[in-house]
Amino acid sequence: MNQTTIKNSIILKGGVGLHSGEKTDLFFFPAEEDHGIVFFRGDKKVKIPANYKYAKPSALCTTIENKGVEVTTIEHLLSVCNGLGIDNMLIELHGVEVPIMDGSGHEFYSALQSAGLRQLSSPRKVIEILETVMYQENEITIFVSPSDRSNFTFSIDFDHKQIGQQEVNFQLNERNYAEKIAKAKTFGFRKDYEKLLKQGLAKGANNKNAIILDDEGNIENMEAMTWLNEPNLHKILDQIGDFYLANNYRIIGDVFSHKSGHSSHLAFIRKLMDECTDKYVIVADT
């Protein structure tokens, strides 16, 4: 299987940043082989590779930085790139934050699908896990073990009667991603919303782009949901995006995660790529 890019340039208009509340259009451009997924801050004239070496730890979103210039909340878009198998693309925006759109990957997926995919001449590269790699931090656990497929098992545990303890298993491939993950919306707790606003965050959040969990253990906007276990599915969507920071290579292995988030995903990828180089190989995708 060869590397891919998009066939045609495309513009996605009308989005706002989840935290900044600022309107931002996205411009997608084809790129040559081994280019990777790269963001271009057109207002600052700075390119930032979507790569763990440029990433910054954050509990609320995934952020990359180069020369003091940031792009934030890249996880949903990066997840779609991984889910579609797009290896190379230039993404231009004129603001700090990728728009939240409907809170899932669906609108990014639809836009990139409409642009079409084009195979390039070089083989696609993947990370093949040879030995188990584990990361632990307090209650957080992430480990990946050898497998011939890209599998995700995600366990969550929230003190909310509509979520509680859940575990979801998902095999990552292009068809499964489109059918089971792309539409999974982000979620948040009503009790945290006012705190985030006081911190200058969540300015673009509303009941159409986030599943809202109230203080009585209910879901305020059931009409926004596609699946009853959508919060857990969204955690997998996020992780698929965060893990694509590993040089934009899909990880072939069995991934298990418990209570993890953006900062722990980044810590795991850094440990895997820099400290455990004897436990994986980079090979052509067959």
**Dihedral angle computed from the Cα positions of residues 276, 278, 283 and 286, in that order, rounded to the nearest 10 degrees:** -90
Tell how strand 250-258 and strand 125-129 pair up.
Answer: parallel
Structure tokens at 64: 């990359």
Cβ atoms of 57 and 218 within 8 Å: the answer is: no
* Residue 193 CA from chain centroid, whole number: 22
**Which residues are catalytically annotated?**
262
Buried-exposed string 197-210: b where 16+ CB fall within 10 A, e elsewhere: eeeebbebbeeebb
Alpha-carbon span 26 to 12, nearest angstrom: 5
Cβ atoms of 273 and 153 within 8 Å: the answer is: no
Q: Which of helix, strand or coil describes residue 175?
A: helix
Residues 6+ apart with CB under 8 A from 136: 142
Q: Which of helix, strand or coil describes residue 145?
A: strand
Alpha-carbon span 248 to 89, nearest angstrom: 11
Compute the radius of gyration of the chain from its Cα atoms. Answer: 18
